[in-house]
Amino acid sequence: MASIKRLYTALTRPGPHRVLRGDLSYAGLDGVVYTPQSGYRLPAVAFGHDWLTGADRYAGLLEHLASWGIVAAAPDTGRGLVPSVLELSADLGRALEITTDVRLGQGRISVDRERLAVAGHGFGASAAVFAAAAPSLHPRAVAAIFPTATTPSAEQVATDLDVPGVVFSSPGDSTALRSNAIELAHAWRGCTLRVLGRSTSAGLPQGRRLTGFFGLPTSDRRTQRRVRALLTGYLLAQLVGDKTYRAFADPQVSLPRTETLEELPAPASTEEKVAALFK
């Protein structure tokens, strides 16, 4: 069996499949879908975007997943100043319904209803947790990437969530005011926390952001590369059942470019998070 480090390196690169891009609006939902060129009974993931971040900013990640044989759909809804996490979670469910009900790629692509997942970044990560808790959706896995706090909170439904999942966080998330990664990991008994070394939540979307002009974190290729590899390996293990990548879903295995945790970090108080802003 190939070493984990070698598998990780391979997963940072595009997979063997040619990729097609489609428009979810043809099925009544604003958004995009990326698929392998062909294939039947494929796994699929619906991906939720962060606050004020369009689905197009994740094109590289979605295309990467499709190149490894995973249909990736991303609603482009909920982009207002005060979006509803519940509405975006419902649209994630709709996106998966479209991939399973509609033959994609001129009929040469179909999705297996038993191989579905939801994922998201920031605001969309919390939406993915709500989507997984919906009674109409039965995903096999959930991935919350640098999740942020929402109202209502994702922790409320995570306590009763029986779906396996992974929470990606950056080293500074434990005291970040908007982050709820640590709190979510404590509430969600079936999840694994992965702390990605030398990464930032703001680094995942592609392209320049206004925050960069103020000296704040912006698009970061290192973060994008690490998330692509770890997320792809996790989904291949959970959705495809490929034993080659089972270490990516094993909480007992330390993965490349992640920090080794002896136990879950304790959640920081609001006062501690506010104090961290002035350090």
pLDDT tens digit sequence for 208-262: 554 444 344 578 999 999 999 999 999 999 999 999 999 999 999 999 999 988 8
Query: What pLDDT shows up at residue 150?
Result: 97
- Distance CA(13)–CA(29), nearest Å, equals 30
Higher-scoring residue by pLDDT: 94, 262: 94
Indicate whether 1 pLDDT > 90: no
Please choose, from the candidates 173, 168, 160, the residue with its C-alpha nearest in 3D space to the C-alpha of residue 133.
160
Strands 19-23 and 191-195: unpaired
Indicate whether 279 pLDDT > 70: no
- Distance CA(152)–CA(155), nearest Å, equals 9
Domain limits for position 66 = 4-276
Query: What pLDDT shows up at residue 276?
Result: 62
Q: Considering only 140-149, 176-185, 215-224, 236-245, which range has the smallest mean pLDDT?
A: 215-224
Query: What pLDDT shows up at residue 129?
Result: 98
Query: What pLDDT shows up at residue 108?
Result: 86
Q: How confident is the model at residue 207 (pLDDT cuts 50, 70, 90)?
A: confident
Please choose, from the candidates 118, 120, 18, the residue with its C-alpha nearest in 3D space to the C-alpha of residue 68.
18
Indicate whether 87 pLDDT > 80: yes
Query: What pLDDT shows up at residue 271?
Result: 73
Burial environment of residue 38 by CB neighbours within 10 A (0 to 12, 13 to 18, 19 or more): middle
Indicate whether 65 pLDDT > 70: yes
Non-local CB neighbours of 190 within 8 Å, separated by 6+ positions: 161, 162, 163, 164, 165
The residue type found at 133 is A
Please choose, from the candidates 101, 160, 169, 96, the residue with its C-alpha nearest in 3D space to the C-alpha of residue 129.
160
In order of 77, 93, 96, 233, 273, the CA distances from 87 in angstroms are 9, 10, 15, 29, 28
With beta carbons less than 8 A apart as the criterion, state whether 155 and 85 touch. no
Number of domains in the chain: 1
- For the chain, report the end-to-end CA distance as a whole number of angstroms: 46
Q: Write the CATH number for 69.
A: 3.40.50.1820
